[in-house]
Amino acid sequence: MSTFFRLDDGRLQALEAALASSIPLDVLERGFDYYRREKVLSIQVMESSSIYGVVKGTAIYAVTLDSDDFGYSTCTCPAKGYCKHMAAVFYAYYAYAGLSPDEVHNRLLYGDVLALAESPAKRGVEKNAASTDGAGPRPGQWLLEMEAKHGETWRLCGHSLHPLQSVLTAVKAISKSWSEGMRRLHWMHGIIFVLEQAERAYSNTDSFKRYYSEMAFTRMTEPWLNQYYELAGEIAPAALTQEERAGLNSLIAVFHDREMDRELQLHRWEMLYFSLWSSLIEDERLREQEEAYLTEQLHQAGSKAHIGFFMPMALAYLAFADGRDGEAIELLSRTAFNRTALLACDCALQRLEDRNWSKLEDWIGYLFSGLSVERKSKAFGPFLTMCRLADRQQPDNPRWQTYLVSFLPYSYASLTEHWLDIQQYTKWADLQLLFGIEPDDIDVQLMREISKAAPQVLYPIYHQAIDGAIRSRNRQGYRQAVKLMKRLEKLYKAEKQSEAWSRFVDGIVRKHQRLRALQEELWRGKIIT
């Protein structure tokens, strides 16, 4: 646009107040995420009172924000009422007008808290909010405090997340003298905070450079993630004090409040959630509370098309931990397979370790159905590995090998290695014949081992390769056939099968007696005399 008209300050304040009172916080968060990912394609102010915007979601939507009467604001998306597209246009207007979208976003989400942080009475409030052991602000304020002090640090992250390392160091220093339990929970909050900052930096990278940013950012955050997992593994629910339980509840609330189903993310946030619950799962009261919360949220989400993947996935994890595997599988079946398949693999592996064969078959059956459609899923490798392990532990069940065979040719390498490991050489040889593998394609050391353990299975492989070389109908092919026959001769004679060898050679000579060049090569190679 060549000219950009602005709303006057009064109308802008009225619009901000209308958004704060009309749009839920989670919708504002999703709208802010849309703005950061540059989903707003255009912004225009008309008649000095209305903002018009175009947003790219699952389709292209037109948005109108009326500052005089917010109730007349509209969006062409299917959502009823006020939506994330409206919030995205509002934030985009702030940016285009030279104002700070982050600042207004913080006001909308944390208005009273941040105002308190800037007020002259701040010290008194912090004193009242302090815990009895001197551990600083109550856990519910930890992330708000981090956001107020370091919330704009992500803007300093260009090709590196190094500015966030100093933030994490500063955050950890605050709780250095706290009790061990409170310090652990505070550090976990700090890691969550810098990971979210990394997500903001990642979502704002140029789409053409995103692949390289992803590699650089994930390398930087890997130590933070590992420390989070270690800290989560140290939590013992039965030993938590009242204050530590408040810190734990604050941590759980992070995942409840966060939009876990975002499309563009740097990290798998569900794994952060599961690593926390792996330590909490034995606490029956906590587990029941979490399951009740997730069930209610899932019920409110309504139809299958709108539930996303996280809530069914989280409920499936809790159901699995309680031994309700059928219910867990049903919940996962409501989601996109590729988003939840790795959790299904973890559940299947646990049942394999437990040697609970009936439940393992249920999980493997679920994975098989999904992989039949989504073979490129990351679950494909773990699936093949589990089938191999199950076949070794339960060799009388033919289903495990059936699954492996059903995914040929993609499972060729895994199946080949498996049949060699369990010394099923005949099946191994049949597979090589099926794929036209020649002796020269097989590792020399492996050929030596099989020639000692089961030389007879190599005969058909050599026969097929010799026939193929002769069918080439050229001198080079005939020489290759003779070379293979000389190696095959050693196998026959080592097994004292000289008569069988003579019959094989006679058959070759009679079958191809008109191929004079072949006869010459057989004579030169001393196959015939």
Q: What is the band of 36 on the pLDDT scale with cuts at 50, 70, 90? A: confident
Residues 158, 258 share a domain: yes
Q: Which of 280, 313, 336 is the last residue of a domain?
A: 280
Q: Judge whether 357 lies within some domain.
A: no
What pLDDT, on the 0 to 100 scale, is given for residue 158? 78
Instruction: Tell me which of 227 and 102 has the higher pLDDT.
Output: 227
Asked if 309 contacts 335 with a C-beta cutoff of 8 angstroms, the reply is: yes
Nearest-angstrom CA–CA distance, 240 and 250: 14
> Do 100 and 163 fall within a single domain?
no
Q: What is the pLDDT of residue 315?
A: 94
Do the domain assignments include residue 307? no
Domain count, the chain: 3
Whether residue 513 is predicted with pLDDT greater than 60 in this model: the reply is: yes
Q: Is the same domain home to 163 and 271? A: yes
Whether 121 is in a domain gets the answer no
Clarify whether residues 32 and 83 are in a common domain.
yes
Contact 521, 466 (CB under 8 A): no
Q: Binning pLDDT at 50, 70 and 90, where does residue 230 land?
A: very high
What local confidence, expressed as pLDDT, does residue 213 receive? Answer: 81
Q: Tokens 């006001």 map to which residue?
A: 107
Please check whether residues 209 and 102 belong to one and the same domain: no
Look at residues 322, 175, 328 and name the one whose alpha carbon lies nearest to residue 243.
Answer: 175
Average pLDDT over the chain, rounded to whole? 87
Q: Could you tell me if residue 83 is inside a domain?
A: yes
Shared domain for 104 and 159, answered yes or no, is no
Q: What is the mean pLDDT of residues 512-522?
A: 92
The verdict on residue 94 lying in a domain is: yes
* Structure confidence at residue 302 as a pLDDT band (50, 70, 90): low
Mean pLDDT over 387-408 rounds to: 96
Phi-psi category of 43—alpha, beta or left, where left has phi over 0 and alpha has psi -120 to 50? beta
**Is the pLDDT score of 301 beyond 60?**
yes
Copy the structure tokens of residue 48: 């000095």
Mean pLDDT of 459-486: 94
Q: What is the pTM of this model?
A: 0.66
Place 119 in a pLDDT band, splitting at 50, 70 and 90.
Answer: very low
- Domain check: are 184 and 272 in the same one? yes
> Which range of residues forms the domain containing residue 32?
9-109
pLDDT of residue 307: 65
Give the burial class of 272: count Cβ atoms within 10 A of its Cβ; 0-12 exposed, 13-18 middle, 19 or more buried. buried
Boundary of a domain, candidates 254, 280, 306? 280
Give me the mean pLDDT over the 407-430 stretch: 95
* Domain-embedded: residue 98: yes
Task: Tell me the average pLDDT across 280-285.
Answer: 90
Closest by Cα among 477, 468, 487 to 518: 477
Tell me whether residue 290 is in a domain. Answer: no
Does residue 14 have a pLDDT over 80?
Answer: yes
Least confident stretch, 91-105, 198-212, 450-464, 478-492: 198-212
Does residue 334 lie within any of the structural domains? no
Same domain, 155 and 53: no
**Helices within 176-241 (DSSP H only):** 180-203, 210-233
354 CB neighbour count, 10 Å cutoff: 10
Task: Work out the average pLDDT over 458-481.
Answer: 94
Of the candidates 216, 251, 280, which is a domain's last residue?
280
Give whole-number Cα distances, 208 to 34, 37, 211, 214, 261, in Å: 18, 13, 7, 11, 23
